[in-house]
Amino acid sequence: MAPPIAPRRTPKTVCVVDVSSPLGGAIVDRLLHLGYSVHAASFSRGDSSTAAWRESKRVRVFAADPLDYHSIAAAIRGCSGVFYTYDNESFYDLWHALAKTLSEKTAWALAMDRGIDMISVNAGLILAGADLRSSPYLKGAPEMYEGGVLVTAKLEFLVDAHICVFESADAYGRYLCFNHTVCRPQDAVDFARLLSPTTPNPPPSAGLSVIQERIHSKKLTKLMFEFGAGLQAAE
């Protein structure tokens, strides 16, 4: 477990897109706690109108459209960084994993072409929201479980990861982000009950084997530990 991230001493202004998502709103909360000023861009997928962070004098809210360049440019103008958390699944009929892969590939190509310092954080199933069963991440879940790559990420941990890769001078490239792998029969049972509490008791699983884990997040774990330790040493 990485040490907790302490408040910054040099506040900056950053932009968060899209703040109507659970992840976007949580990142805004954390940034304000760390002393940042925030441009909060909302695509109005959810209802963030009652969010406590809207009352902060260090927040400017922007109505934006993912297909309108000028609305995005207005939100990020004057910012030293952008946290882009928007999931544009509503615009495409592609399989979720394929859509995410193609989107990230395009973003990397543009970033390298235009000299933008970009870092991507690729999370497992985010444990946030009212109905996890509707998450497109779950399409192919049985195959992911059998392949040892079905993973979940708690919202607070994912927020910590975003802050860490933004503030750490050693961060680069792509990071896989999760803090639990579903690889044992009991893990699968607990996961099913998380999605649907009324799931009936399964038959005994004593004879079932543990799935070999084929995914890891060592790169992120190492970065978060070293970054947190560095902050504590500087205090």
Look up residue 17 and give its amino acid. Answer: V
Q: Which residue has the higher pLDDT, 150 or 88?
A: 150
The tally of CA atoms less than 13 A away on the side-chain side of residue 222 is 8
CA 29/CA 51 separation, integer angstroms: 9
Half-sphere exposure of 129 (CA within 13 A, CB side): 18
Domains located in the chain, CATH noted: 12-86 (3.40.50.720), 95-215 (3.40.50.720)
- The answer to whether 139 is a known catalytic residue is no
| Mode of pairing for the β-strands spanning 180-181 and 125-127 | unpaired
Give the single-character DSSP code of 8: P
- Nearest Cα residue to 23 out of 163, 138, 166, 156: 156
Question: Minimal CA–CA distance to 84: which of 43, 133, 137?
Answer: 43
| pLDDT for residue 200 | 78
Dist. CA 186–CA 201, nearest whole Å: 11
Q: What is the pTM of this model?
A: 0.86
Looking at 12, 100, 154, 218, which residue is catalytic? 100
pLDDT in tens, 172-208: 999 999 999 999 988 998 999 888 888 777 766 656 7
**For residue 179, what pLDDT is reported?**
93
What band does 77 get if pLDDT is binned at 50, 70 and 90? very high
Per-residue pLDDT band for 99 (boundaries 50, 70, 90) equals confident
Residue 122: pLDDT over 60: yes
Say if CB 158 and CB 177 are below 8 A apart. Answer: yes
Question: pLDDT at residue 210 above 90?
Answer: no
Average of per-residue pLDDT across 24-53: 86
Which tokens is 57 given? 């004098």
- Residues 3-18 pLDDT 10s: 444 444 456 999 999 9
In this structure, of 4-13, 77-86, 218-227, the range with the lowest mean pLDDT score is 4-13
